[in-house]
Amino acid sequence: MYSPPILVQKIFPDFSWKASNNKILLTFDDGPTETATLKILDILKLNNIKAVFFCVGNNINRYPELTSRIIEDGHTIANHTMNHKSLTKMNREESIKEIISFNNLIKKKFDYDVKYFRPPYGKFNFKTNRLLNKLNLKCVMWNLLTYDFENDIQKVKHSINKYLRKNSVIVFHDSLKCSNIIEESLNFTIKQVSKCGYEFGEPENCLK
């Protein structure tokens, strides 16, 4: 689904499903990676846009220099777990380890405190909600999934053309799967946001 069902959004009101200030928020999952992250950062810098990068701990270990660049460029790093495994298939202790290990890693390597979390594959349950509340992490979902991971630029354009709203939280990926189309996808999205008269927002203001 391009946008999660309204019923699910109502059942989990603690989660952020849309931008709270009627601005567009760009988010990127699964990175950092050599194939996509630099392309994304260059486009964001050129257009003066700040985004949220939901990073995977193991990728941070592989590419610490890319993580530094994300931080230096003023973007927000958020928790996408240590190993990108589905929390709904884990017990409570395993889930805590996946989340806390990420927070400890980013704090130790970059002295960075994490505020936001997104579950791998967008899969969660009531246990996830209770756990995140206990860990004082805000779960950020979305209301516009671009399907860029299918590596089909026409599908991305369709999702933006049909579902872009003034409060959209958009999901892209900085991964190998979409690296061939990520530049065109971003440039098209930026153009459409301007064409519709919308504006990009700062993560902190969008996620209040």
pLDDT tens for each residue of 94-138? 999 999 999 999 999 999 999 999 999 999 999 999 999 999 999
* pLDDT above 80 for 1: no
* pLDDT above 90 for 20: yes
pLDDT digits (tens, 9 = 90+) for 64-86: 999 999 999 999 999 999 999 99
pLDDT reported for residue 189? 98
Please state, in angstroms and as integers, the Cα–Cα distance from residue 43 to each residue in 32, 169, 184, 193, following that order.
Answer: 15, 18, 10, 15
- Cβ neighbour number for residue 195 with a 10 Å cutoff: 9
Confidence class of residue 3 from pLDDT cuts 50, 70 and 90?
A: confident
CB neighbour class for 143 (10 Å; exposed up to 12, middle 13-18, buried from 19): buried
Confidence class of residue 2 from pLDDT cuts 50, 70 and 90?
A: confident
Within the chain, residue ranges assigned H as helices are 6-11, 37-46, 57-62, 64-72, 92-110, 126-135, 153-163, 182-195, 203-206
Asked if CATH classification 3.20.20.80 holds for the domain at 16-206, the reply, yes or no, is: no
Q: Average pLDDT for residues 11-30, to the nearest whole number?
A: 97
CA distance 33 to 52: 15
CA distance 129 to 1: 21
Q: Average pLDDT for residues 25-37, to the nearest whole number?
A: 97
* pLDDT above 90 for 88: yes
Confidence class of residue 158 from pLDDT cuts 50, 70 and 90?
A: very high
Distance from the first to the final alpha carbon of the chain: 25
Please state, in angstroms and as integers, the Cα–Cα distance from residue 49 to each residue in 36, 58, 152, 182, following that order.
Answer: 17, 26, 24, 15
